[in-house]
A and B are shown apart, each in its own frame.
Chain A
């Protein structure tokens, strides 16, 4: 452990008081320390391992062990500048870190607080500190407050930041139904995309008698373009566990599952490690924090089926079946895992729960919009300068996110649309840039909040090609159980293929709309019911671009190769 030898780390924490005392000790020991926080999750894709190892070896070479801590953390959000490190106590953010400059960073910045311009945001020394960088200034980090500040594989880091204290409060001072009431008051809505009020779902679950009740954390973040849950699990797994403990206690469950994508190996490792550490310390397992409440949480890895993000398919998968959806009702809250009342919430939903217990549901409900409370994490990607992980209050506008936090378009290209909600969502055009984002406003313009993926598109993106891309995705991921989804998505894909190949007609556009409606209205589960959304929303907002493909036989974005002038297609691309 990096912590002071005087502090009793590693032993069982028997009560909320013991937890608070340990937190105070850890916080006092950490006060004002020089720390280099190297993102060791997302940034691993671009050399963070070498950067972190070099910081470590150079700190040792300079004889600074004990004076400077090098910490492996989760995501700092500014992924466009990867690999990113934050230097405490100054809160200086350095991006594009290169191994050869690390001795300079240590001697000048870590030891003296002097800024080196080349690593700063925009290579501007005025934007060295967190509070001076527009990317951070436009955000409200609540759920993400610990991500990037703690070593996710060290439970003492989490404890030092106050994690598990809300669980202590809930388990020892609140009755389960009181927590359900607080969550209802907070008006927290499911962050996985559906937006169903979490407290109401829990109440329904509790009204149904069962032999056992189960709690499932949906970490099967399958929407292309989404990485919010990945960042939470990798960067602050203990807060997710804390949220699950409180929620399980509220619905009086004795067993929890985390169903996480196998495509997220770092998240799997970190959450497994977090469970181990929490068990060792008495924060999970038998008699949590001396409260008398016991809970086991088991990690299950997905096996590569997108449909398992749908709650009934996920339950089927947990029961050892193929991931095929089941008719609703009955909803899982009534009849779920092995027929027992079961609550499935998303990672980010659980991460919000400790905040509600800590400050009370009414205070939580003060932020956000009328119908959508709190904050939302978005994964910003595509044609935008500051690709990364952002958290804003509900009600922030798309313009604020893309141009404020996101820093606008690369090379000042023209904003065309932002795709929200992945394969279940839609494209929001420039005309709606000032739309305040919440669950209801997005639905009105044909998109959805979804889980939080935002892909920014400029004029080099063909809208018809994007619609074809999403429907091809859904056709491939359809579980095959119900005909409207299994057959309808393939027909939609074939029509769109025809259009992108220059063989489409005006009738095809009507066909897309009528067939899309049938698939929406008659599919068994959410996958099929929402699969036509990307097609329908683009037909609504970008009809001109479809008309260019079917009438003029041109692709304005220059993407559909069959519609380009002959000389431009020499480097012919594959169709998929």
Chain B
């Protein structure tokens, strides 16, 4: 296990200064944007730098679905499980994506290319079923095009 470089975390802290308890969530969001996840060493360092108890930061990281405590894939595939997607065939696309990536929701491919998640709703119900890859939306998702669409993300 290689040591995590704390430099970028310190830079985030500096850019947000002064950081108090009320900024704990935006702080973790910026840290995750920087590292791709929340490394344990970084959380401990943030705690000693800000005085926010580490237990509180871990509490936030485990309460909110957005945060990852382990290294994540380079791209995040989010299959919408909203109501409209549910009634317009989400299960079929979930199966197609699970099969294409060889993983299930909550898992990351071995090459760390993709992490797979489900999401409550991405507000694109008019084009259900919907999949999001990173910040891109894919509406009327055609399970036959899974390979082609995933191919666009290295």
Please give the residue numbers on chain A whose beta carbons come within 8 Å of chain B beta carbons, in ascending order.
42, 44-46, 79-80, 82, 221-227, 230, 261-265, 300-306, 317-323, 338, 379-383, 387-389, 419, 422, 453, 455, 457, 460-461, 466, 469-470, 473, 477, 479, 573-574
Check if B29 sits within 8 Å of A301, measured CB to CB: yes
Contact B123 A45 (CB under 8 A): no
B19 nearest CB across to chain A (Å): 10
Does B152 have its Cβ within 8 Å of any Cβ on chain A? no
CB–CB A455/B64 < 8 A: no
The stretch of B1-9, B41-49, B106-114, B135-143 that contacts the partner chain = B135-143
In the complex, the chain A residue whose C-beta lies closest to that of B62 is A322
A265–B135 CA distance with the chains assembled, in angstroms: 6
Q: Does B18 contact A (CB under 8 A)?
A: no
Nearest first, the 8 closest Cβ-Cβ pairs linking A and B are A79-B126, A45-B139, A304-B65, A45-B137, A381-B125, A303-B64, A224-B82, A304-B66
Residues on B with C-beta less than 8 A from A479 are 63
Interface residues of B in 113-136 (CB under 8 A from A): 119-128, 130, 132, 135-136
Contact for A389 among B86, B92, B126, B135, CB less than 8 A:
B126
Identify B64's interface contact among A224, A323, A389, CB under 8 A: A323
A225 and B121: CB pair below 8 A? yes
Q: Is B72 an interface residue (CB 8 A)?
A: no
Q: Is the CB–CB distance between B126 and A263 below 8 Å?
A: no
Chain B residue numbers with a CB within 8 Å of A317 are 25
Which residues of chain B have C-beta atoms less than 8 A from A223's C-beta?
121
Shortest beta-carbon distance from B41 to chain A in Å: 21
Pairs A–B under 8 Å by Cβ, sample size 7: A42-B124, A46-B127, A224-B120, A226-B123, A263-B119, A303-B28, A306-B120
> Contacts of A574 on B, CB cut-off 8 Å?
91, 94-95
Chain A residue contacts of B78, Cβ below 8 A? 263
| Residue contact A303 to B65, C-beta cutoff 8 Å | yes
Contacts of A389 in B (CB 8 A): 126
Binary per-residue interface labels of chain B (1-27) against chain A in the complex, 1 for a CB within 8 Å, 0 otherwise: 000000000000000000011111110
Contact A381 to B123, CB < 8 A, known contacts A300-B25, A303-B25, A322-B59:
no
B60 within 8 A of A: yes
The complex places the Cα of A479 from the Cα of B29 at a distance, in Å, of 20
CA distance A429 to B134 in the complex (A): 38
- Give A46 to B136 CA distance when docked, in angstroms: 10
Residue in contact with B127 in the complex, picked from A304, A319, A387, A573, CB distance below 8 Å: A387
A559's nearest neighbour on chain B, judged by CB, is: B87
**Is there contact, CB below 8 Å, between B87 and A455?**
yes
A122: min CB distance to chain B, Å: 17
Contact check: which of B26, B29, B121 meets A224 at CB < 8 Å? Answer: B121
Rounded to whole Å, the gap between the CB of A75 and the closest CB of chain B is: 9
- When C-beta atoms are compared, the residue in chain B nearest to A301 turns out to be B29
Question: Any chain A CB within 8 A of the CB of B150?
Answer: no
Please pick, from B59, B64, B84, the residue contacting A304 in the complex, using a CB distance under 8 A. Answer: B64
Q: Is the CB of B65 within 8 A of A305?
A: yes
Look across to chain B and name the residue whose beta carbon is closest to the beta carbon of A389: B126
Distance between B103 CB and nearest chain A CB, rounded to angstroms = 14
Q: A42-B124, A473-B120 are in contact. Are A453 and B64 (CB under 8 A)?
A: no
Find the A residue at minimum CB distance from B22. A320
Q: Determine how close the nearest CB of chain A comes to the CB of B32; give it in whole angstroms.
A: 9
Distance (Å) between the CB of B26 and the closest chain A CB?
Answer: 7
Q: Which single residue of chain A is at the shortest CB-CB distance from B132? A: A263
Whether A388 contacts B123 in the complex (CB less than 8 A), given A320-B21, A323-B63, comes out as: no
Indicate whether B35 reaches chain A with its CB closer than 8 angstroms. no
Residues of chain A within 8 A (CB-CB) of B91 are: 573-574
Alpha-carbon gap, A265 to B33, bound state (A): 14
Q: B124: which A residues are within 8 A, CB to CB?
A: 42, 45, 227
Interface residue? B88 (CB, 8 A): yes
Determine the chain A residues whose CB is within 8 A of the CB of B119 once the complex forms: 263
Which A residue's beta carbon lies closest to that of B95?
A574
Residues of the A chain whose Cβ atoms lie less than 8 Å from the Cβ of B132: 263
CB-CB nearest in chain A for B134: A265
Complex formed: what's the CA distance from A24 to B81 in Å? 47
B121 and A387: CB pair below 8 A? Answer: no
Q: With A and B bound together, what is the CA distance between A318 and B25 in angstroms?
A: 8
Residue of B nearest to A457 (CB): B87
Judging by beta carbons under 8 Å apart, are A79 and B26 in contact?
no
Cβ-defined contact, A319 with B29, below 8 A: no
Given contacts A303-B64, A419-B83, A453-B125, 17 further A-B contacts (CB under 8 A): A222-B120, A224-B86, A226-B123, A262-B29, A263-B119, A263-B123, A264-B123, A303-B65, A320-B25, A321-B60, A379-B126, A382-B83, A387-B84, A453-B83, A457-B87, A479-B63, A573-B95
Q: Which of A46, A80, A460 has the most CB of B within 10 A?
A: A46
Closest to B119 in A: A263
